[in-house]
A and B are shown apart, each in its own frame.
Chain A
Amino acid sequence: MITRVEVVARRGPGGRTVLPVVRASGQLAVRRTGPTTIHLVATAFGPLGGDDAEVSLVVEEGASLTVHTVAAAVALPAREGDRPSVQRVRAAVAGALVLAPEPTVVTARAHHRAELTAELAEGATLAATEHVLLGRAGEEPGRWTGTTRVERAGRPLLHTTVALGPGAPGWLPPVAPRAYAATVSVGARLPVATGQDAVRLPLDDGWTATAWGTELHTVVRALAALEGVGEEVA
């Protein structure tokens, strides 16, 4: 199934954010849940292998937008063949964007591809978090491939592809985690910090943190610890 979401956030009268464009078709609906907050609501089970979703977000200068989802996405294998499910988020940001979706759970034999491409203007801010769990309880891990590309003023700031699960290139014992969480943040620089299976790296005017392990809740805690460690600017 094809899913398309398009949201434009604009600075309106009095400085509050208005949403002149809100479009959704396919498996996601958009609900405005606060002055600068929307929730993406899954209207169908899945995604299934072969599904293709694209979320296009524009946050204009002076506007703020926070995007949540209402529930974990449970990626299921294709009914036939082994096509991945794909979700692309394309963001053009001159204001402030926060992406804070619920976790993605990739069930056995499923392969989910997540892509985030963010083009930031000078002075724009971004915080994007991703929580991934391979396999439901007692189930074999599925496969997840996540690509994050952040550009600022036309220059690449961060470009990484992390692949997890059976068959993924770098997912090899003894370090083959089922749970993974990552944040990329642009707006304030933080220095290097390390933890047990967790690392935070500075970016030009930002940082990215990654944590991995067996259980998602402990991984999310490890990530949160890094987000609060060493707040002084390097």
Chain B
Amino acid sequence: MTAALLTLADARLPAGGHTHSGGVEQAIAAGLVRDPSSLAAFLLRRLRTSGAVAAGLAAATTLSSSGRHRGQVPSPVPLSPTSPSSEEPPAPSSSELVAALLRLDDEADARTPSPALRAASRQQGRGLVRVGRRAWPSTAWDALPSAPHHPVALGVAAAAGGLAPRDAAAAAAYLSISGPATAAQRLLAMDPITVAAVTARLSPEVDAVAEESLSRATGSPADLPADTDPLLDLLAEVHAARADRFFAS
């Protein structure tokens, strides 16, 4: 693990994640989230479904972007004397990478049939590309489709930052609950210490999801986790139709 991972998972990274509640705003409106224990249950189901999908896609993207699946190691644009040295083989050719990232973006689409969730994911992906390009310059950014799904952008960011697929999976899993937890805190005016404790207590679950998703990221993209919670789809679509919402999703 490196400081790049901490930066990637930091809520202060201005990638636009703070405008999304991950379904929490609608879950509160539906009476499903109202206190710390119901918040913990909601975060857990989100983590184990969309969190697992995001972690798998992010890990697979990092793997593709860094060429590890061909026995290579990542070669991001050197940023500092500690960056990988020039004796490493090159990253996959740009057309190969474009095709691989497009394939992963297609797999993300197939796992995100809800138009509202697709829009939220692509919006956050675009936001991450904007900041990631500046933070971790790499040619891999140019291989992304415009407005990629967030986990795909996250995987490229991890590769560009010299991180491993495992780090990308961990960041994706953690981000699947950290933003929604903060949203709940704001909407319900919950005690920040309580919400921090709820999130921290899910750490073993976050690690387990990241590990399991990582283990499925090395094969065909078709084998990536596809865990779905129809409840989250419904909440997202009802939320998107509301005029009085506070969060974008």
A-side interface residues toward B, CB under 8 Å? Answer: 147, 149-150, 155-163, 169-175, 182, 192, 194, 197-199, 201-203, 208, 210, 212
Contacts and interface: CB of A to CB of B under 8 A. Distances in A.
A169 B110 contact: no
A208 B111 CA distance: 12
**Chain B at the A interface: SS class:** helix
- Which of A170, A174, A208 counts the most B-chain CB atoms under 10 A from its CB? A170
B222 A156 contact: yes
A194 B234 contact: yes
Interface string B98-114: 00000000110111011
Nearest to A169: B48
Contacts, number: 82
B237 A156 contact: no
A233 to B, nearest CB: 15
Contacts of B165: none
A161 B227 contact: yes
Interface stretch (B37-45, B152-160, B194-202): B37-45
B170 interface: no
A69 B145 CA distance: 44
A172 B41 contact: yes
A194 B44 CA distance: 24
B89 interface: no
Contacts of B228: 160-162, 170
Given A172-B41, A194-B237, A160 B226 contact: yes
B204 interface: no
Contacts of A171: 45
21 contacts: A147-B226, A149-B110, A149-B226, A150-B110, A156-B109, A159-B107, A159-B110, A159-B111, A160-B111, A160-B113, A162-B228, A169-B227, A172-B44, A172-B45, A173-B41, A194-B234, A194-B241, A199-B230, A202-B113, A210-B233, A212-B230
B32 A170 contact: no
The 10 closest A-B pairs by CB, nearest first: A169-B48, A156-B110, A160-B228, A199-B234, A159-B110, A201-B113, A210-B230, A170-B45, A170-B229, A161-B226
B115 interface: yes
Contacts of B21: none
